[in-house]
Amino acid sequence: GENVEQHPSTLSVQEGDSAVIKCTYSDSASNYFPWYKQELGKRPQLIIDIRSNVGEKKDQRIAVTLNKTAKHFSLHITETQPEDSAVYFCAASQSNNNDMRFGAGTRLTVKP
């Protein structure tokens, strides 16, 4: 089955700086890669996703890049703000297979 590794496990940045979280996956058949944000005590929420036929996707300050050959994808957050502080999870799956596998999460802290 799919195995997703996520790095780093914790990340601390200064407000206004950029943050990058990286994930690798093992199953070359995976074609759907979402990112979820979980604030303390709250439920995970989808913030951005990308399919394998796209190399990059942006949504305001958030972007995701995908390298299918290397089987890794990354989340980029620019101009970080304190409200970006949360745990971020990457995931991978085949879009026709509901077996979604998540990374272990990255705790991002944005210092004001």
Partner 1 sequence: KAGVTQTPRYLIKTRGQQVTLSCSPISGHRSVSWYQQTPGQGLQFLFEYFSETQRNKGNFPGRFSGRQFSNSRSEMNVSTLELGDSALYLCASSRRASNEKLFFGSGTQLSVL
Q: Which residues bind partner 1 (CB under 8 A)?
A: 1, 6, 32, 34, 36, 42-46, 49, 89, 91, 93, 95-105
Alpha-carbon span 1 to 66, nearest angstrom? 20
Q: Which is nearer to partner 1, 42 or 58 (CB)?
A: 42
Alpha-carbon span 106 to 112, nearest angstrom? 19
Neighbours of 106 (CB within 10 A): 22
> What's the chain's Rg over C-alpha atoms?
13
Q: Which is nearer to partner 1, 78 or 97 (CB)?
A: 97
For tokens 């050959």, what's the residue? 69
Alpha-carbon span 87 to 95, nearest angstrom? 24
